Structure 1
């Protein structure tokens, strides 16, 4: 098998605008089918994206023997159910983040662990800018990495948008707070021991619209971040060490197929005279993700992140929600 044949569940925008074009640009993947509960929407998306097959139900797509892997961008509350159905049909699954609504929900995926590849779709972990940044940390360019600071926001008060619906897993923490959390795990190459959170909710939607968090990784290492669904769009990640600082300019929504920049600062000049600019070549992080996943499914490389990793992400998110309720530090269980 030279290429991975993908089927896509739903016509969600993240799929049609980001992930499907990324898979189509990848070296090893091709999208052969797309499904929606509305056949007309599936056919329209298939025509727009030049996909051969359109199905009017998810079950029809999962029964297609010519599909090797499924991309699942359904609402958060459907992630586990449809991932389990796809796995039962023998399909590998790339599931959109967050993988579940809670850790207990994610634990249900243990039933298919080791049977088919299942990975949570944090595409940022495959962008060369994240890999280069981690290489600088490993090489000691920052000295000892002590703090990671992140901000991620956009503005959305659309009452029809699922990100504003608590029953489908809306809100800032689940939608975008998971990215700074993953950044901490990625760059510290460790796990937080305890977390603290402060959440402010929209009075109409009852989802968190402004969330700040502190994650203690032990040994004097910490992540602090703020995410919001109702402030001006902005995003940054700062890696701060004893000898230097590294800033990722567009850490999460890196433009597809465009160059990106990082800034390595030795701290010698507070006006920026000690900053070196690192230009990264244009890549599509969704294509990079698709190729890494394809290599794992085709048996050419190990799966870098599996169900255990996804369950751990949900454990941290659960602890953050508990901390807001208790007003105290909460351990990550």
Structure 2
């Protein structure tokens, strides 16, 4: 591994960047958060000062023109993921972009072309795949610990009705499926190690904001495996993931927003007792998936190891999301 750390620049001052990603990546020995850009120069200066970031920029273009910045983290609203990521790559920067990588699979394909054209690496920031609890869950499922796996069930919900929040703005990619349903899609593909062949969805849209506030779906995978999921932006906060096999059940109690300062655990149940007597618990020490994700990206930049989930994986995830939207409109199963 090269001794020189990768200098990161951050596009915008999104909440996830300020509260989660930047603090995590500032603890890395492999990379340093070196700059933060905003369309508001004063906001950029104040945010950078609060977070101890050396440089601030009054425009995205100013930061992208800085030769010191080698990699960019893009947590901008969803409709700006592809255009600003392409712009950054064309400026000679590698880009780690927040999920969902795009609004459609066709749009995401522009990133594949940009990567080929510029030689810069681009990836989608699904941090959960870098958490030890999910790495172990996948190992158990694919190693046969649950027997023949038949189904996975995911719930992910929070309560947010503020129409000024970007997650409630339909024209820029708001709504539950884009924001949190994408995790159900990504983790099922991750755990099963396969792509679904068809999907079906039900969707309830907010009459004021027009975003989907409740989406339930089913993904049919090869070998008769299924994902069922529900995501909502207007019910009580809750999340859970369960994988069912013919010999056991695996549960991830806090699958997506695990506190990086606290231990996590997964439950493996042999089903011998409906009250839980057959449950075994595996616990993992505190781990920050945002830090792990950033370091994995830096190792790819430095040529130490390739990305486990390159940009092509993001396009495949978007194909599933596209099909779910089509199904919600058509009322039918939709193929990919």
Name the TM tier (shorter chain).
Answer: over 0.9
C-alpha distance in 2, partners of 1:34/1:113? 23
C-alpha distance in 1, partners of 2:71/2:262? 27
C-alpha distance in 2, partners of 1:326/1:42? 44
Q: How does 1:111-130 map to 2 (within 5 A)?
A: 111-114=113-116, 115-130=119-134
1:102-124 superposed Cα distances (whole Å, 9 cap, x missing partner):
11211211222341110000000
C-alpha distance in 1, partners of 2:22/2:149? 36
Q: How does 1:57-206 map to 2 (within 5 A)?
A: 57-114=59-116, 115-206=119-210
Q: Give the counterpart of 2:42 among 40, 43, 47.
A: 40
C-alpha distance in 2, partners of 1:29/1:259? 25
Alpha carbons 1:26, 1:287 under 8 Å: kept: yes
Which residue matches 1:260?
Answer: 264
Structure 2: which 5+ residue stretches go unaligned? Answer: none
Q: Give the counterpart of 1:24 among 12, 23, 26.
A: 26
Q: How does 1:257-296 map to 2 (within 5 A)?
A: 257-296=261-300
TM-score (norm 1): 0.98
Q: Give the counterpart of 2:329 among 309, 325, 331.
A: 325
1:46-80 superposed Cα distances (whole Å, 9 cap, x missing partner):
11110000000000100111111000001100100
Which residue matches 1:207?
Answer: 211
Q: Give the counterpart of 1:302 among 298, 306, 310.
A: 306
Q: Compute the displacement of 1:218 (Å).
A: 2.1
Alpha-carbon RMSD across the aligned residues, in angstroms, is 0.8
Alpha carbons 2:142, 2:192 under 8 Å: kept: no
Task: Say which SS state the counterpart of residue 46 (structure 1) adopts.
Answer: helix
C-alpha distance in 2, partners of 1:258/1:93? 29
1:259-291 superposed Cα distances (whole Å, 9 cap, x missing partner):
111111010000000001111110111001011
Q: How does 1:214-225 map to 2 (within 5 A)?
A: 214-225=218-229
Which residue matches 1:314?
Answer: 318
User: Are residues 1:234 and 2:238 paired?
Assistant: yes
User: Are residues 1:6 and 2:8 paired?
Assistant: yes
Alpha carbons 1:148, 1:223 under 8 Å: kept: yes
C-alpha distance in 1, partners of 2:314/2:32? 25
| Number of positions where the alignment pairs a residue of Structure 1 with one of Structure 2 | 332
Q: Compute the displacement of 1:87 (Å).
A: 0.3
Task: Say which SS state the counterpart of residue 263 (structure 2) adopts.
Answer: strand
1:203-228 superposed Cα distances (whole Å, 9 cap, x missing partner):
10000000000000021101000000
